[in-house]
Amino acid sequence: MHSALTLRQNLLENLQARTWRAGHRLPTERELSEQYGLSRSTVRRVLADLKGKGLITQTVGSGTYVSEEVGVALAQIASSASPLATSPAELMSARMVLEPAIVAMVVGNATAADFERMDECCEKGETATSIEDFELWDGKLHEAIADAAHNTFIATVFQRMNEVRAQSEWGTLKRRTATPERRARYELEHRALVAALRDRDGARAAALCLEHLTHVRQNLLGY
């Protein structure tokens, strides 16, 4: 069972990525309802919101289509958003592209001090007594891995990503989906990833990184 928020974010992602271009016919209300496990009225409300923003058009008896003015509408949405107005779905999409991609740089550039910092983040996360503290050290671990690439631009990007993770929407979603079993799995995945990086095994580290992020996305967003 997904939420209306997940549906809205997925539809927006298809529009923003230009997977759906002007004139593209969207799935029907019934198809979206079945796919996301939502009521038809909820799907209708999400579509009405997108229509109100000029992203889609609806024709009775024909269907729902991407607006001819979708580019303008997306630009208006982007310009009105604050730099950190990033949804959890957008953050996860970025993480799944960026984090595995920097593994080769980390493998090539990481120092003994970098690995000590990663170990410390793992230990602090494992001994955290609240989901908030665990999430803090989880974020710090991924930031430490990024810093180990020793590239100023990448370090800055990951600092921004952690700022997004500090937003209330991400925290609320993390708390709502957190279980002891999932946390234990994340801890094991963190340790395995750090071990692969320390072994300078880029292929294994990249695969473990993507696998970990896929689990996080599934737990948080349901897909």
- Residues 110 and 129 occupy one common structural domain: yes
Q: What is the pLDDT of residue 2?
A: 58
- Residues 76 and 96 occupy one common structural domain: no
Which of 47, 80, 113 finishes a domain? 80
From residue 34, alpha-carbon distances to 46, 51, 59, 204 in Å are: 15, 21, 21, 37
Q: What is the pLDDT of residue 123?
A: 97
- Residues 93 and 170 occupy one common structural domain: yes
pTM across the whole model? 0.62
- Residues 63 and 92 occupy one common structural domain: no
The domain in which residue 20 lies consists of 4-80
- CB crowding 143-160: b at 16 or more within 10 Å, else e: bbbbbbbeeeebeeebee
- Residues 125 and 16 occupy one common structural domain: no
Domain count, the chain: 2
Q: What is the pLDDT of residue 79?
A: 65
Rounded CA separation 143/159 (Å): 7
- Residues 53 and 121 occupy one common structural domain: no
| Tokens, residue 93 | 């999409």
Q: What is the pLDDT of residue 168?
A: 62
Give percent of the chain above pLDDT 90. 57
- Residues 144 and 46 occupy one common structural domain: no
Which of 23, 53, 80 finishes a domain? 80
Which of 57, 80, 103 finishes a domain? 80
Question: Which CATH number belongs to the domain containing residue 180 in this structure?
Answer: 1.20.120.530
Q: What is the pLDDT of residue 147?
A: 93
- Residues 213 and 175 occupy one common structural domain: yes
- Residues 118 and 205 occupy one common structural domain: yes
Q: With contact defined as beta carbons under 8 Å apart, do 89 and 6 qualify?
A: yes
Rounded CA separation 19/209 (Å): 25
Question: Which CATH number belongs to the domain containing residue 65 in this structure?
Answer: 1.10.10.10
- Residues 22 and 117 occupy one common structural domain: no
Rounded CA separation 72/61 (Å): 26
- Residues 110 and 48 occupy one common structural domain: no
Ranges of residues in the chain whose predicted pLDDT is under 50: 1
Q: What is the pLDDT of residue 108?
A: 96
User: 3-state SS string over 156-211?
Assistant: HHHHHHHHHHCCHHHHHHHHHHCCHHHHHHHHHHHHHHHHHHHCCCHHHHHHHHHH
- Residues 8 and 109 occupy one common structural domain: no
Rounded CA separation 141/149 (Å): 13
